[in-house]
Chain A
Amino acid sequence: MAADLLRNKATGFAMKRIALAGFVALLGVLVLLPLVRIQGLAFANGGQGYLDAFGRAAIWTTIRNTVALAVGSTIVALVFGTLLAWWATQLSPRLQWLRVLPVLPIVIPAVASVSGWAFLLSPRPGYINALLRNLPWWSDLRFGPADIYSLFWIVAITGFALSAFVYLFVSSGLKNINSELLEAARTSGASAFGVFFQITLPLLRPVLVYGGGVALLLGLGQFTAPLLLGTNQGITVLTTDMYFATQNEPVNHAAAAAIGSPLLIFGLIMVFGQKIMLGDQARYITHGGRAFRPAGKPSGLAAAGIFTYFVVTTLAPLVSLGILSLSPFWSANPKWSAMSLDNFRVVFGESVIVGAIWNSVTTSLLAVAIALVIGFIVSVVTLRGRRYPVLRMLMDVIVALPLGVPAVIFGVGFLLAYSTQPLMLYGSRWLIVIVYVTLMLPFTTRMQLSGMMQLGTAYIEASRVCGANYLKTDLWVTLPLMRSTLGGAAALMFVLLTHEFTASVLIRTPRNQVMGTVLFDYWGNGGYPVVAAIALIMTGVTAIGVIMAMLLGGRDALSRM
């Protein structure tokens, strides 16, 4: 009987290993094939792509702009994100809902907020500029005073968007600080400010380093703001340069591939560096720890600060979208009497736009469903697959890569990898779904993995000693207990995907669009009121996703990222 057992066990083990190897290979194709294709092309013909890309004089300005954008927006994000997170700890119980506001820049589509900013601060017809020109000392200006199409404002807007990420990291870091450490400093005579600078900030250093790294990475990969705002005055960064190389005549895919390399290398360094520093994820598993919340005294200033930041950076662009979407055309002084819903009628009468909305929603839903399943398997293997150390490590790196590699690179990579036989998917909706799944791998994994780690091992072990195998345990215990995590992850991914623009704009075809790309087309044609309407609709779809997230994942679903 023991020999039987032995054989069954050995074959079972081999089967599982083969299944897992197949799964990892699939993920590898998904993530690595585009990257390999992109480098293959860049190095083809003796590195002609690299010669074309880096032989131009303009490339150095582009690189300088890229660095300026990344570093500048990271600094903006670190300052505001930290400040907002600190303020968020000082809210009175009645004002706790304000904690959500700083996260909103993540859930508002980038194309929407960037175009909203343009409508506010464009030199001539920008609404705020027009208002400011009423002030006596600016009354003689015909343009400005602010110019949204400048590097300064591109940096600022990007920084505002990234502050949401820093806010999330720092908030969770603050939650892990034992409030007694802070109270001890207060009772030793330190002021609130003293405590913040002498105790809180030093304790937050690892979080700030990590959050700053993530912001830097995202800043380097920024695409939407430089594309929409920088093109006017020829301000290019690596991502937009890459895009233009694939769009403008003469199209040079090899050069596009080469331009992305600095971003790719930096992303890889970040991903591997983080893996090495974190080590084995399973080590961090707990049996349900207790978090302390720093109990600052409620402060009216903090609440006012958070609200003001929200109004200026988040609400204002939305309001400008609202005004413009109701106006017949974009002018500095909107006429209230001429307002109508005509633009929305145009949007819903235009089959391309309606098709794009439908496309966005269905491809996103499909991609979310696939990503959820993949993320669950990856998380389970990460936590339980000690017997497959090599496969597990490979899988871990592969699913983390899309976080480090900018979406533009994936866009170009997928374009190259799937527009030739035998993998001819270009022009099909499936290509969009596959790209979306790839982009979501880090999110689905991270959220489900952390959900499982918080769940701890006790519930699962209790089920196993009751006689349930892993399959039953997952079905009856793990999945039900993960419901809110899964719901939150699904809704978050839906939000991120319905406003995906960067990769989509590279792989779309005229007949196969998503919301962000039709918005961009109207932007290019100068159809600004329709742009505003589409942007608002995108925001509305996102809002539905957010509400779903709240319902399924509980009120803190957004901060689970």
Chain B
Amino acid sequence: MAEVRIEGLHKEFRGKPPTVAANNLSLTIGDGEFLVLLGPSGCGKTTTLRCLAGLESPDRGRITIGGTLALDAGRGVDLPPEKRDIGMVFQSYALWPHMTVRRNVEYPLRARKLTRGLQEGWVEDTTKLVEVDGLLDRYPGQLSGGQQQRVALARGLVARPGLVLFDEPLSNLDARLRDQVRSQLHQLHSRLHFTAVFVTHDQTEALSLADRIAIMNKGAIEQLDTAQRVFEEPATEYVAGFMGMTERLPMERRDGHWCLEDGTVVQGVPESLRAGSSIVARVRPQDTYVEPQGTALPGGSAGFVAEVEDVAFAGRFSDVVVRVGARRLQGRTLPGSGQGGLEPGRAACVRFAADRAAFYAPDGQRLAGNPVGGARDGR
């Protein structure tokens, strides 16, 4: 078990223009915590993880793992990977094809000379945990993708390292297997309590595994919070977009009303917002309801009138595309209402609960006075 401290980690790749893969990044991961690094492809997650592993040499920064100084770029300290108390699970699994499953899994014990582990049967224990104990004498080439993944997991965990690093380990699995291995990993963590840093670009994966999530943007951490807080109170518009709040409504204050770009008035925008003359609302499509024109706006909701462009049946409700000015938005009809009496070309009423939306200043920062967490924002 280990607490991990990262201070001012900075890594640039040369090139034209140079890429800043980790931008002055600081982060403390608690002992036994499961931290997820979440962000779109290319934002620097893998690089950050590789710096933790010692596979990449950062330009600046300090890293301590479990009290051991692993990196201090200023003083030229940079422990090689084998001297760090870590385990790592790779996206491509990287199981050595010339070794059996057993040899692969016991490798960390041999490399670290943990004879105790070999004698006490850690290999058998760990492989039993991930349910590959029946495959010990096979070669990686004779395993399915899911089995390979679990062997890779066992190899990362077998030496009981203080810190386990995961680089998108589930992304090569098909959807059903991914769910399975994910919940297995969740159970393993609650049982073994290793400190984990898990890289992914999949928000579902992040939400279900993480104690805390760090959302990364261009090498920097945009928000670091519990899964629930990141989901409900995205700190910036960027995070909101990444957490599924894909519908974007920029508004301006005109004559005491909040108006969209084409002048359409939006009613019910919370008065509590401490905003200037323009704001941006972010909301998820599944929280955006479209109803026939004339429906009354319930309390605590914001709404406006738009033109229906398309209605597609989706089971208990229909997916609706509406247009206001030049802007298209995704919404849906109320559950159980089928087509909801909507027709393309006709006007409709679009509404969302204000506490399901998030409001931002034009620079992307969350406004004080948001309906959710507003008190905290006001600090």
Point out residues on A near B: beta carbons under 8 Å: 1-2, 5-6, 9-10, 287-288, 458-459, 461-469, 472, 476-477, 480-481, 483
**Chain A residues near B43 (CB, 8 Å)?**
none
Q: Are B107 and A6 in contact (CB-based, < 8 A)?
A: no
Is the CB–CB distance between B88 and A2 below 8 Å? no
Which chain B residues border A6 with CB–CB below 8 Å?
75-77
Q: Which A residues are in CB contact (< 8 Å) with B77?
A: 2, 5-6, 9
Interchain nearest-CB distance for A544 vs B (Å): 27
A459–B82 CB distance below 8 A: no
A480 engages B98 (CB within 8 Å): yes
What's the nearest-Cβ distance from chain A to residue B148, in Å? Answer: 12
- Known contacts A6-B76, A9-B76, A472-B111; A465 and B88 CB within 8 A of each other: yes
Would you call B94 and A459 a contact (CB within 8 A)?
A: yes
- Can you name 12 A-B pairs with beta carbons within 8 Å? A2-B72, A6-B75, A288-B92, A459-B94, A461-B88, A461-B94, A463-B107, A466-B87, A467-B81, A469-B82, A476-B111, A477-B96
**What's the minimum C-beta distance from A419 to chain B, rounded to whole angstroms?**
47
Bound Cα distance A240, B291 (Å) = 94
Once A2-B75, A464-B55, A466-B111 are accepted as A-B contacts, the answer to whether A458 and B80 lie under 8 Å apart by CB is no
* List of B residues within 8 angstroms of A476 by Cβ: 107, 111
B98 (CB) vs chain A CBs: closest residue: A480
Contact, CB under 8 Å: A462 / B88: yes
Nearest residue, chain B, Cβ from A481: B98
**Is A465's CB under 8 angstroms from B86's CB?**
yes
Instruction: Let me know if B55 and A465 touch, CB within 8 A.
Output: yes
Question: Known interface pairs A6-B77, A9-B77, A287-B92. Does A466 touch B159 (Cβ–Cβ under 8 Å)?
Answer: yes
- Does B165 touch A at the CB level, under 8 Å? yes
- Digitize B110-126: 1 where CB-to-A-CB distance is under 8 Å, 0 elsewhere: 01100000000000000
Chain A residues within an 8 Å CB radius of B53: 461, 465
- Say yes or no: B90 contacts A458, CB within 8 Å: yes
Ranked nearest first, the 9 interchain pairs of A and B with the lowest CB-CB distance are: A468-B111, A467-B112, A462-B94, A466-B108, A465-B88, A458-B94, A464-B81, A467-B111, A467-B82
Task: Kindly list chain B residues whose C-beta atoms are within 8 Å of the C-beta of A464.
Answer: 54-55, 80-82
> What is the distance, in angstroms, from A12's C-beta to the closest C-beta of chain B?
11
Q: How far is the CA of A467 from the CA of B98 in the complex (A)?
A: 19
A467–B159 touching, CB < 8 Å: yes
List 15 additional contacts besides A9-B76, A465-B87; criterion CB under 8 Å: A2-B72, A288-B92, A458-B90, A458-B94, A461-B53, A461-B81, A461-B90, A462-B95, A463-B96, A463-B111, A464-B54, A464-B82, A466-B107, A466-B111, A469-B82
Residues of B within 8 A of A462 (CB): 88, 90, 94-96, 155
Q: Are A465 and B165 in contact (CB under 8 A)?
A: yes
User: Is B207 interfacial (CB 8 A cutoff)?
Assistant: no
Across the two chains, which residue of chain B brings its CB closest to A1? B69
Q: B97 contacts the other chain (Cβ, under 8 Å)? A: yes
- Counting chain A CB atoms within 10 Å of each CB, the highest count among B79, B86, B96 belongs to B96
Interchain CA distance A6-B71 in the complex, whole Å: 11
B80 to A469, Cβ gap below 8 A? yes
Q: Which residue of chain A lies nearest to B69 when distances are taken between CB atoms in the complex? A: A2
Complexed CA–CA distance, A463 and B86 (Å): 12
Chain B 12-51 interface mask (CB, 8 Å, partner A; 1/0): 0000000000000000000000000000000000000000
Q: How far is the CB of B40 from chain A (nearest CB, A)?
A: 20
Chain B, Cβ-Cβ closest to A464? B81
Complex Cα distance, B107 from A472, in Å, reads 11
A1, A463, A466 — which one has the most chain B CB atoms within 10 A of its CB? A466
Residues of A within 8 A of B165 (CB): 465
Residues of A close to B72: CB separation below 8 A: 2
Residues of A within 8 A of B75 (CB): 2, 6
Q: Please measure, in the bound complex, the distance between the C-alpha atom of A71 and the C-alpha atom of B79, giving whole angstroms.
A: 55
Query: Inside 8 A of B80's CB, which chain A residues have their CB?
Result: 464, 469
Q: With the chains together, A481 CA to B95 CA distance in Å?
A: 12
Question: Closest CB-CB distance, A163 to chain B, in whole Å?
Answer: 36
B residues in contact with A288, CB < 8 Å: 92
For B112, list chain A residues within 8 Å (CB): 466-467
